[in-house]
Amino acid sequence: MISIRLAPVDLNSIRLNAPLPFGLVDSLGVLLAHKGFIFQNEKILEGLANRGSGFFVNFSDRSDPQLRITERAYANQLQKRLRDQSPLGELLKVQVSYANSPIEDADQKPLDWLDLIEVCNAMLLTRDADFFNRRLDSIASILSHQLSTNPDEALLALFYLSERNGRLYSATHCMLVCAICVLTASTVLRWSVSDVDLLMRCALTMNIGMVDLQDDLTLQAVPVDMSQQFLIGEHANLSAHILEVFGVEDKDWLTIVRLHHKTIQDPLQSAQITDRLVGLINRADVFSAKCSSRVARQALPSAVAMKSIYIDAQGKTDAIGTAIIKAVGIYRPGSFVKLASGEVGLVIRRDGNTTTPTVAVVLNRDGVPVVAMAIRDTFDKKYAVISSVPSSKVKVALNLQRILDLTRQ
Question: Pick from 7, 48, 10: which is nearest to 27 by CA?
Answer: 7
Distance between CA atoms of 182 and 202, rounded to whole angstroms? 11
Per-residue pLDDT of 122-132, as tens digits, reads 999 998 898 89
Whether the Cβ atoms of residue 196 and residue 182 lie closer than 8 Å to each other: yes
Highest mean pLDDT among 242-251, 294-303, 347-356: 242-251
Per-residue pLDDT of 172-185, as tens digits, reads 999 999 999 999 99
Question: pLDDT band at 108, cuts 50/70/90?
Answer: low
Residues in the chain: 409
Partnered with residue 58 across adjacent β-strands are: 6
Which of 99 and 205 is assigned the larger pLDDT?
205
Amino acid 294: pLDDT: 79
Partnered with residue 158 across adjacent β-strands are: none
- What are phi and psi for residue 64, nearest 5 degrees? -95, 110
Which of 16 and 60 is assigned the larger pLDDT?
16
Amino acid 107: pLDDT: 43
Amino acid 69: pLDDT: 67
Highest mean pLDDT among 20-24, 365-369, 404-408: 365-369
Taking each continuous run of H as one helix and of E as one strand, the counts in the chain are: 15, 9
Distance between CA atoms of 297 and 288, rounded to whole angstroms? 14
Amino acid 51: pLDDT: 76
Question: pLDDT band at 112, cuts 50/70/90?
Answer: confident
Burial class (CB in 10 A: 0-12, 13-18, 19+), 236: buried
Amino acid 98: pLDDT: 67
The secondary structure of the chain in percent helix, strand, coil, rounded to multiples of 5, reads: 50, 10, 40
Query: Average of pLDDT values for 381-403?
Result: 90
Amino acid 100: pLDDT: 45
Q: pLDDT at residue 206 above 70?
A: yes
Percent of the chain whose pLDDT exceeds 70: 91
Q: What is the 3-state secondary structure (H, E, C) of 351-381?
A: CCCCCCCEEEEEECCCCCECCCCCEEECCCH
Distance between CA atoms of 126 and 135, rounded to whole angstroms? 10
Amino acid 18: pLDDT: 75
Burial class (CB in 10 A: 0-12, 13-18, 19+), 197: buried
Mean pLDDT of the chain: 86
Which of 247 and 22 is assigned the larger pLDDT?
247
Which of 64 and 309 is assigned the larger pLDDT?
309
Distance between CA atoms of 16 and 48, rounded to whole angstroms? 14
Amino acid 81: pLDDT: 76
Amino acid 89: pLDDT: 66
Distance between CA atoms of 328 and 158, rounded to whole angstroms? 12
All residues at 6 or more sequence positions from 352 whose CB lies less than 8 Å from its CB, including other chains: none
Which of 108 and 265 is assigned the larger pLDDT?
265
Amino acid 180: pLDDT: 97
Q: Is the pTM of this model over 0.75?
A: yes
Q: pLDDT at residue 146 above 70?
A: yes
3-state secondary structure of 291: coil
3-state secondary structure of 152: helix
CA 327 to chain centre: 13
Amino acid 74: pLDDT: 79
Q: pLDDT at residue 292 above 50?
A: yes
Partnered with residue 33 across adjacent β-strands are: 24
DSSP 347: E
All residues at 6 or more sequence positions from 36 whose CB lies less than 8 Å from its CB, including other chains: 19, 20
Q: Where are the alpha helices (DSSP H) in 150-301?
A: 151-164, 169-183, 193-205, 211-218, 226-245, 251-258, 273-290
Distance between CA atoms of 115 and 81, rounded to whole angstroms? 11
Q: pLDDT at residue 3 above 60?
A: no
Amino acid 252: pLDDT: 97
Per-residue pLDDT of 304-348, as tens digits, reads 888 888 887 677 889 999 999 999 999 999 999 999 999 999 999
Query: Average of pLDDT values for 397-407?
Result: 89
Whether the Cβ atoms of residue 265 and residue 298 lie closer than 8 Å to each other: no
Question: pLDDT band at 60, cuts 50/70/90?
Answer: confident
Q: Where does 110-328 sit in CATH, by number?
A: 1.10.3210.10
Percent of the chain whose pLDDT exceeds 90: 46
Boundaries of every domain in the chain: 110-328, 336-407
Q: pLDDT at residue 43 above 60?
A: yes
Distance set, CA 333 to CA 192, 238, 289, 337 (Å): 26, 33, 16, 10
